[in-house]
Structure 1
Amino acid sequence: MPQLDVLLYGLPLAFLAGFIDAVAGGGGTITLPTLFLMGLPPAQVVATNKLLAIFGSGSATVQYWRAGHVEKPLVLRLIPLALLGSALGAFLVRFVDPNTFRALVAVVILAVGTLVLVNKRFGLEDRYPGLTGRVLALTMPGAFVIGAYDGFLGPGTGTFLMFLFALAGMNLVRASGNARTINFATNLGAFLFFLLGGQMVWWIGLPMGVANAVGAAVGARLAMLRGSAFVKVVYVVIVVLVVARLLLSR
């Protein structure tokens, strides 16, 4: 078991992960390697990371929700689909080669990032039309598929969700707020599942979770203060980090 001194680097890294995740997703690219570096076995890493994730995504959700950047009628329809997809993804893990799937997802995320970067106006203007049939036809199956990916593999879930909401017409600040809310729901569902397994390392997860929540609150406020252009820059950086993690992890 790791010693208490691992928190000397664990806490600031958890803060940084929360900050980044609240802006553009991808906090797991920091927290998962950090937990592995502490010497935890894979089962404890995955379970403890979900404990961190509910702190961070919950904190960011509160910030965006209070500021009016969450489309409540929409996300309340999407959360059940995302949870159902997540359960399906967890079930499918045993039938699909994760390494092949990881490489495929890396290509898809890279393509998404390229599209966002090349289209200079993408996500900068808010053109969300409200709860229309077109929006539901896009986001409902999208939430289910992304939820399934979250249950199967995970890295880049927030990145995909932001892209989905931006396609629906939201600027990247609102897209981030809605993505964090969906992510919080799926993280909570996974947390309850892992809680039954007894693999969480509470003395690491709780203080790092608090640090993650503080970082998320700061990140969400800065994203709302600086606007979609700032979020877009961070988003592209996160795409690169997620792709690197997918391709280098085995």
Structure 2
Amino acid sequence: MKLLILCPAGFLAALVDSIAGGGGLISVPAYLLAGIPPHVTLGTNKFSSTAASFTSSLKFARSGKINFNIMKYLAPLTLVGAVLGVTSVLKVDQSFLYSLVLILILCVGVYSFFSKSIGMEDKFKGTSRKTILLGMILALALGFYDGFFGPGTGSFLIFGLISIYGFDFVKASGNAKFLNFISNITSLLLFAAHGQINYILGIPVAIFMIFGARLGTVMAINKGSKLIKPIFITMSLGVAVKMLYQMIF
């Protein structure tokens, strides 16, 4: 019975997430609705979503939408950040981050909504020491953030990569998904080590999420920035609304 809720929700979450991020807005509440304890929800969702992010990353890579010359600098920093984030979250209260992240994610969504040009054209003109350094800082910070807290990571990555490298939404989504996969699998291994994954539910949901990720990635590549931008804005503002709701109630 639980899988009747979780599998369709997982498919939809992966489809949306592979396009513009924010799939956790769908999958995490679905696990909680099915009566899964919060810590096991986070671990099991990380298990199934890692399978989806791997599928999406592979599809983006095969389509030439991931710049591995940049990723070879950024990916290791994302991994280190995720380890530090997961380690820190066991010792530090997350609540102080809510107000800051809420403001930032609202700014990202609103700015993207009103800026007609952002991410609509690929303006990448190569790298410099400055852009590599800025990218490494972004990767480390958001790897830490994803391991420590998480909401809006995909939105922040896409926005950051567009701002630093001039990518369009398609390339930004592809590179963001690759970095997200690195932080996901790092966090997954730590959740698994603490026994916080329900594999009986996680494996079927992961299969549905793989199919959702494949479809979403194909849609993103074929439809381009005109499809990704409105979904990106919607999911960014959706994360903000969810966080605001949690702060109030």
Q: Is TM more than 0.5 here?
A: yes
Distance in 2 of aligned mates of 1:153 and 1:67: 31
CA contact (8 A) 2:145 2:153 kept: yes
Alignment correspondent of 2:17: 21
Alignment correspondent of 1:60: 56
Alignment correspondent of 2:246: 249
Distance in 1 of aligned mates of 2:64 and 2:32: 37
- Structure 2 counterpart of 1:43, from 39, 42, 45: 39
Q: Where does the alignment leave 5 or more consecutive residues of structure 1 unmatched?
A: none
CA contact (8 A) 1:25 1:235 kept: yes
Structure 1 residue 194 corresponds to structure 2 residue 195: no
Could you list the structure 1 runs, at least 4 aligned residues long, displaced by more than 4 angstroms after superposition.
none
Shift of the 92–199 alpha-carbon distance from structure 1 to 2, 3 Å rule, reads closer
Distance in 2 of aligned mates of 1:73 and 1:128: 13
SS at match of 2:96: helix
Report deviation, 1:213: 1.1
Report deviation, 1:134: 2.8
Report deviation, 1:95: 5.6
Q: Paired residues, what number?
A: 246
Alignment correspondent of 1:156: 152
- Structure 2 counterpart of 1:88, from 84, 87, 96: 84
Distance in 2 of aligned mates of 1:199 and 1:72: 32
Alignment correspondent of 2:132: 136
Distance in 1 of aligned mates of 2:34 and 2:169: 34
Distance in 2 of aligned mates of 1:82 and 1:99: 23
Structure 1 residue 208 corresponds to structure 2 residue 170: no
Structure 1 residue 79 corresponds to structure 2 residue 63: no
Structure 1 residue 102 corresponds to structure 2 residue 108: no
Report deviation, 1:218: 0.4
SS at match of 1:122: coil
Distance in 1 of aligned mates of 2:207 and 2:155: 23
Report deviation, 1:100: 2.8
Report deviation, 1:46: 1.0
Report deviation, 1:137: 2.5
- Structure 2 counterpart of 1:231, from 221, 228, 231: 228
Distance in 2 of aligned mates of 1:147 and 1:79: 9
- Structure 2 counterpart of 1:220, from 190, 214, 217: 217
CA contact (8 A) 1:155 1:242 kept: yes
SS at match of 1:123: coil
Distance in 2 of aligned mates of 1:229 and 1:138: 27
Report deviation, 1:26: 0.6
One-letter identity of the residue aligned with 1:152: F
- Structure 1 counterpart of 2:111, from 115, 119, 125: 115
CA contact (8 A) 2:20 2:173 kept: yes
Q: Deviations over 1:196-226 (max 9, x none)?
A: 1122111110110111111111011101111
Distance in 1 of aligned mates of 2:157 and 2:102: 15
CA contact (8 A) 1:73 1:131 kept: no
Tell me the C-alpha RMSD between the 2 structures.
Answer: 1.3
One-letter identity of the residue aligned with 2:170: V
Distance in 2 of aligned mates of 1:91 and 1:203: 26
TM-score with structure 2 length normalisation?
A: 0.95
Distance in 2 of aligned mates of 1:227 and 1:90: 34
Q: Deviations over 1:209-248 (max 9, x none)?
A: 1111111110111011111121001000001111122222
Distance in 1 of aligned mates of 2:239 and 2:44: 20
Report deviation, 1:170: 0.3
Report deviation, 1:96: 4.5
One-letter identity of the residue aligned with 1:229: K
Report deviation, 1:97: 3.7
